[in-house]
Each structure stands twice: as structure tokens, then as C-alpha cells.
Structure 1
Amino acid sequence: MDWHQILRLFSTWFQTISDVLGVQWAPTNLPMNRRLQTLAATGWICLVLFGEALAIYLAIQLLYSSYWFLGILYAVWMLNDIEICQRGGRKFEWVRNWSWWRYYRDYFPIKLVKTAELDPSKNYLFACFPHGVVSSGAFGAFATNALDFYKVFPGMTCNMITLGGHFLVPFFRDLILALGGCSSSRESLLHLLDLKKYQGKCVALIVGGAAEALDSHPGEYKVILSRRKGFIRVAMLSGAPLVPVFSFGETDVFRPLNNPEDGLLRRFQEKVRQITGISPMFPIGRGVFQYSFGVVPLRSPITTVVGTPLEVKKNLDPSQEEVDAVHAEFTQKLVELFDKEKAKYLPNHKNVKLVIT
């Protein structure tokens, strides 16, 4: 038996095993551009899932190495810098312009669409939906320059909001800050929206947060809004217009495990979220070299649509009734945006409804 026969035999055996396991392998003749896109998406999801753990490990290794004094110096500097996420952050355009993000954008691909002009003399609070598993669309649109936010909205800048706990992780915090990340606290939001400090600022907040991630399933759009009113108060206190933002296709890039609300898995996820503020998700996508399983997101288009601003009158002491009135008006604008735009970006739009809880 020569080598050609051995290779053919191995190929047949390998294909048989793949068919039994249901594995669909990626073609070997893919162009380099697509390979780089897959690499970018893989690096991004690894950063999201394992970045903090890796950063903590590196910090510990540094402290126990011969360069321990650098670890001490960094720790002292970090403690003095800990409040920066509450005071506007520390954005580096060089990081937001990395080629990595452009390949990441093209992998899905992600698009940014505006439906109205924004006034650079104002600040805006972007209320973004849905969270999805890891907010792939919002990240690409507002935490990087890959979608040319500055060109789509001339005169505007953007900061993406995330949990304050992320800024306590050494090294990892510096990357988030460089991308324009800031804390989700009221203090941080009011600082960013203060017209005395900034103008032309867009503050992108994922309203549903980690709790909404638990309801992310392909083809479904279930958002948490009815009990989310803190962002309404922030808009009223600052006088910043509220802008509904919806990422169509966000829920299609992963296939999470089935987790009905009364199930054991869901109860476990909710308990962990209550303790840590982070929902333990089990994203099922594809692999680097095969399409059947893994944590790499699926190649499914995401279109982040920025709606028409809702003007909010500044009110330093809003009553609950006033908050509820603005909340109802915003909810109506979000529903209108979804119903108006879904036919453009969802193939099965007739069967898809926006569920608000």
C-alpha cells in the first residue's frame, strides 16, 4: 500500500467520523481575507470570555517575577486612577482604529445606519437594544471606529458604557478605557452628559444589561425595558435627548442553550448574575476550522440602527409620574423603530415581534 492509498483511506475514515459526529469542516481554499476575519472574531470572543482571567493571571505572574516592582508600581498607579471610569474615561483613537476591528466588522458583517441627524451642540443618551449574548453590534458600532461613527454622525464622539467592575481588573481595564468605555454608574453617565464639560457626546448604554442576555435566542427579540427606568432619570436630570438604538440580527450570532425561566439552568444563571452582575452564558457558535460547534460567533449580519432622538426636558427632581410618562413615550419610539426597520434587515420579519418585559 503506497502513500496515496494511505492518504485516501485516512481521508475516507476522517470524513466518515465527521459525518457521524455531524461536523462540517471549513473549506481549505478560503481567501486570506476571510481567514483574517475569522481570526478577528475568534480573538474578540476570546477577549470577552477569557480576557479578564488572563489579565489577572498576568498581573499575578508579574508580581511573583523578578519584575515585581513593576507590578507594585502599576498597582499604585491603578489605585490612583481607579475613578477615571467615572470621569469621562481615557479614550485612545489609535486603539479604536486597529485593523483588528475592521476585520471583526466584516466577519458578520456589521453595519451602522442613522435615521436622523444629531446636533453636535447637544449630548445624547443612546439606549441600545437588544443586549444579545455579548453585544456584538453595539461593540463594533460604538466601541471602535470600524463603522466610521465620526463620519456617520459628523461632530459627534461616542463612549460605550459597561459594568464598573470591569475597571477593577488590571490591564484589562486599560483596554476598555482606550476603547472609550466608561462605568454604568449614575455619576459616570451624568458626567458624560454634562454640557458644561462636553458637547457632541453620544453615550451608548445597553439598557437590558446582563439580565437581557439570558433571553437571547436566534430569531427572537425579547428586551427588558418595563422595569428599567434609571436611564430615564439620567436623561431627565441631564436634559439629554434619548435615542433608541436597535441592533437587528444581534440574537442570531450565537445559539445559546435552551434556558426556560422555570428551568434549573436559568435559576443557576440568575443566581450567578445576582452575585456577580454577569450572566454565565454558554455561547454556541462555530469553531475556527469547522462550522458545527465552538464559541466563535456565526457569520450572521448585524445592522445597528440609530433612531430619532426623543427630546427630554431637564428636570432636577422628577416625580415618579413624570419618569413614567417619559418612559412610556420612549417605549413607543422603540417599538416604532423596530416595526419600521425590521422589514429591511430581518428575512422573516413578518413572524418576528418585539417582546418587552
Structure 2
Amino acid sequence: MDLFRSVSDKLGIKWAPLDVPLERRLQTLAIFCWFHFMTSCGVMFSIYFFIKLLYSSYWYLAIAYSVWMLFDINTAQKGGRPCDWVRNWTWWKYQCDYFPTKMIKTAELDPSKNYLLGCIPHGVICMGLFPVLASNALEFTKHYPGIKRGFATLPLYFYVPFFREIALSIGGTIASDDSIVYSLDPKRYKGNAVAVVIGGAREAALTHPGQYNTILKQRKGFVRCAIKTGASLVPTITFGEVDLYEPVRKPEGTFARKCQDMVYKVIGINPLFPRARGMLQYSYGSVPYRKPLFVVIGAPIDVKRNLDPTPEEVDAVHALFIEKMIELFEREKVNYVENHENVNLNLV
């Protein structure tokens, strides 16, 4: 035992106590599994399982699923297929309670209108937004009656066998102009809310504790979608998201950064290899730190519909959105950010 302690001390490992309650263990397990499911293991396991099924005595099931997948391939661009049975899994509640995550409502959303939630920051993996947008753990529909929410994310997730079914079930759709416009079409839907993490996966590389860096100045596609559909824009901020990991710094021009950028261009995912804690110890691993997360949903910004918006019109709405986002950040950081006097919203 003394040798074990000595080695642990030299390696800088702080082990979790043995008497940690089962509830907290399950919370940690839920976060650990979700992180790896979303970053790599889910995709790889789905592909592996499909190939094994294809070359087994149950090959006909793989063929049948392939036919179904081809038939259903456009669902992710046509409003998705959310399933409350999946969104109500107890598993998501454990994830939510791990930090814990809280949703802060600042204004009502009229169910006769549609909404586009512009969310910042991306962080490493959008841990705070998940229980709000993808699960029912925070009872979104109770706070916003009549509002049906979903989120737009990477196309890759919807072309992987089996994995796509989970992505669709929790409200995911493809992050493209056509997909977002379809989901917010006022002739087709009322009370729809689609969330877009504006900075996307590229913003993950800018994530550092205590710094709210967001790629927003040049991102105007979501504004164009809002104008085309007349959907109100809703600034949304997750306070605490940037403090969950300690990303390994890769300065511009280094070999590591070039490799990271190359992977991002190919698959749309930023390989960050962040450092946080582990399942049974607090020093190393991919499990995020237990830091409280506060998802603040701002007041809607009304947008006049125009099927063919001009660049000037897009710029004007974009500027207004930035103004309201900064106002929301400055007003709410006092409540949810430590040393808030030294923390600003840095727009890239």
C-alpha cells in the first residue's frame, strides 16, 4: 500500500475515495461513456458492429437495415425524428446531475412562432447544451410549453449505421442551410426551435478555462436562415462550458496544429485530446471536471421574413444579434462567472 501511494504521489495521481456514493459513481460513468460515444467510440463501434453483422449468419439483417437507411437517409435534413422515449432515459439525468447543469429562462417563447437558438460557446463537446436540447432531463417543454426543440450538428453523425438512430432520436438534424430552413419553415411548422452552436467544431480549438472565445464575427449563415424563415433569433450562452477541460495547446504553425486542422477539414471534428480527470482519480483522463453549468436562454429577437435577403440585410440582423449576445453575456456573467470583472466575451 505504501509503495502504491508512493508511485501515485510521484505521478501526481489523486485517487477518488472508496466511499464515494453510488449516485456520483453513476454520474461519472454516464459522462465518461457519453464523451467517448460522441467523440469516436460510438462511430467506430457502430461501423464495426455493422460489418460484423454483415459477415455473420444474420447478414440479411444488415442488408435490410442498409435498404432502410437509404430510404431514410434524408430524414436528418427534413426535420429529424425525435423520440421522447429516448430523451427520457434516466442516463441523461445522471449526465445532467454530474456538473450539475441548470437552465435559466429569461423570457417567454411564443409557440405560434419558430426560433433559431444561436448558442455559444462550443467548448470541447457542448456538455451544457446536451440536457437542454437533446434530453428531457431539465424539462424544457415544461418551461417552454408548446415549443419543440432540436439541434443542428455534423452531417457525419447521420451517415453512420445505428449511430444515426441515436442522433435522430435525441432531436439532431444536419447543420446545413437547407435543413435548418426546412425545420423552421412557418408554413410547415409552428413552435419549432432549432439550436445551432455558431462557432462549431473549429471553435473547440479556442477553448481555454476562463476564456469565452467564440467564432461569431464571420458566421452569418444562421442569420440568413432566420431571415429566410422569419424565425426569431435567440442568443443562448452556456456559462462554465469553457472550464470543463484543459486542452493541450497547439500553437499555429506547429506540426500538431497542422494535423489537427487536416483532420477537421476531412471529417469536421477537431481532435483536441483535452485533459481533465478519470473515472476513479482526479488527475488525468477525459472525464470533464465537476463544474456547474448554466445554460442561459435569452429573449427572442424578431426577424422580418425575406426569402431572398440582401447582404446588407444579413449584416444588419447579424450586428443586432451580436449586440444582444454581448448584452446577455455582460448582464448574466455577474451571476454565473467567478471573477467576472476580468472575463469578457471575445469575438473572433
TM over 0.5, shorter chain = yes
- Aligned partner of 1:185 among 176, 201, 219: 176
Take 2:319 and 2:83, find their aligned partners in 1: how far apart are those partners? Answer: 37
Take 1:17 and 1:216, find their aligned partners in 2: how far apart are those partners? Answer: 32
Q: Deviation of residue 302 (structure 1)?
A: 0.9
1:158 counterpart = 2:149: yes
Q: Letter of the aligned partner of 1:14 in structure 2?
A: F
3-state SS, counterpart of residue 299 of structure 1: coil
Take 2:327 and 2:105, find their aligned partners in 1: how far apart are those partners? Answer: 15
Take 1:355 and 1:54, find their aligned partners in 2: how far apart are those partners? Answer: 38
- Aligned partner of 1:106 among 97, 115, 133: 97
Q: Deviation of residue 259 (structure 1)?
A: 2.1
- Aligned partner of 1:37 among 2, 27, 39: 27
Per-residue CA deviation, residues 79-122 of structure 1 (Å, 9 max, x unaligned), is: 11000001111111010000000010000111111111000000
Quote the RMSD (CA, aligned, Å). Answer: 0.9
Take 1:263 and 1:128, find their aligned partners in 2: how far apart are those partners? Answer: 30
Which residue of structure 1 lines up, in the alignment, with residue 120 of structure 2? 129
Per-residue CA deviation, residues 53-96 of structure 1 (Å, 9 max, x unaligned), is: 11001000100111011001000110110000011111110100
Q: Deviation of residue 328 (structure 1)?
A: 0.5
Greater alpha carbon shift after TM alignment, 235-244 vs 316-325:
316-325
1:23 counterpart = 2:13: yes
Which residue of structure 1 lines up, in the alignment, with residue 37 of structure 2? 47
3-state SS, counterpart of residue 136 of structure 1: coil
Larger radius of gyration between Structure 1 and Structure 2: 1
Which residue of structure 1 lines up, in the alignment, with residue 244 of structure 2? 253
Take 1:199 and 1:301, find their aligned partners in 2: how far apart are those partners? Answer: 33
1:66 counterpart = 2:57: yes
Map 1:72-83 → 2, pairs under 5 A: 72-83=63-74
Map 1:165-184 → 2, pairs under 5 A: 165-184=156-175
Take 1:198 and 1:327, find their aligned partners in 2: how far apart are those partners? Answer: 24
1:202 counterpart = 2:223: no
Q: Letter of the aligned partner of 1:48 in structure 2?
A: M
1:97 counterpart = 2:88: yes
3-state SS, counterpart of residue 111 of structure 1: strand
Q: Deviation of residue 164 (structure 1)?
A: 1.4
Which residue of structure 1 lines up, in the alignment, with residue 2 of structure 2? 12
Take 1:222 and 1:103, find their aligned partners in 2: how far apart are those partners? Answer: 28
- Aligned partner of 1:341 among 296, 318, 332: 332
1:239 counterpart = 2:214: no
- Aligned partner of 1:224 among 200, 204, 215: 215
Which residue of structure 2 lines up, in the alignment, with residue 279 of structure 1? 270
1:324 counterpart = 2:315: yes
3-state SS, counterpart of residue 214 of structure 1: helix
Q: Deviation of residue 176 (structure 1)?
A: 0.5
Greater alpha carbon shift after TM alignment, 52-61 vs 152-161:
152-161
Take 1:303 and 1:264, find their aligned partners in 2: how far apart are those partners? Answer: 36
- Aligned partner of 1:353 among 336, 344, 348: 344
Q: Deviation of residue 157 (structure 1)?
A: 1.2
3-state SS, counterpart of residue 309 of structure 1: coil
3-state SS, counterpart of residue 152 of structure 2: strand
Q: Deviation of residue 266 (structure 1)?
A: 2.3
Take 1:238 and 1:155, find their aligned partners in 2: how far apart are those partners? Answer: 19
Q: Letter of the aligned partner of 1:97 in structure 2?
A: N
Take 1:237 and 1:27, find their aligned partners in 2: how far apart are those partners? Answer: 55
- Aligned partner of 1:263 among 239, 247, 254: 254
Take 2:255 and 2:236, find their aligned partners in 1: how far apart are those partners? Answer: 33
Could you tell me whether the CA contact under 8 Å between 2:333 and 2:340 is conserved in 1? yes
- Aligned partner of 1:298 among 289, 294, 300: 289
Which stretches in structure 1 are left out of the alignment for 5+ residues?
1-10
> Percent same amino acid among aligned pairs?
51
Q: Deviation of residue 275 (structure 1)?
A: 2.0
- Aligned partner of 1:116 among 97, 107, 118: 107
Greater alpha carbon shift after TM alignment, 271-280 vs 310-319:
271-280
Which stretches in structure 2 are left out of the alignment for 5+ residues?
none
Q: Deviation of residue 350 (structure 1)?
A: 1.1
Q: Deviation of residue 189 (structure 1)?
A: 0.6
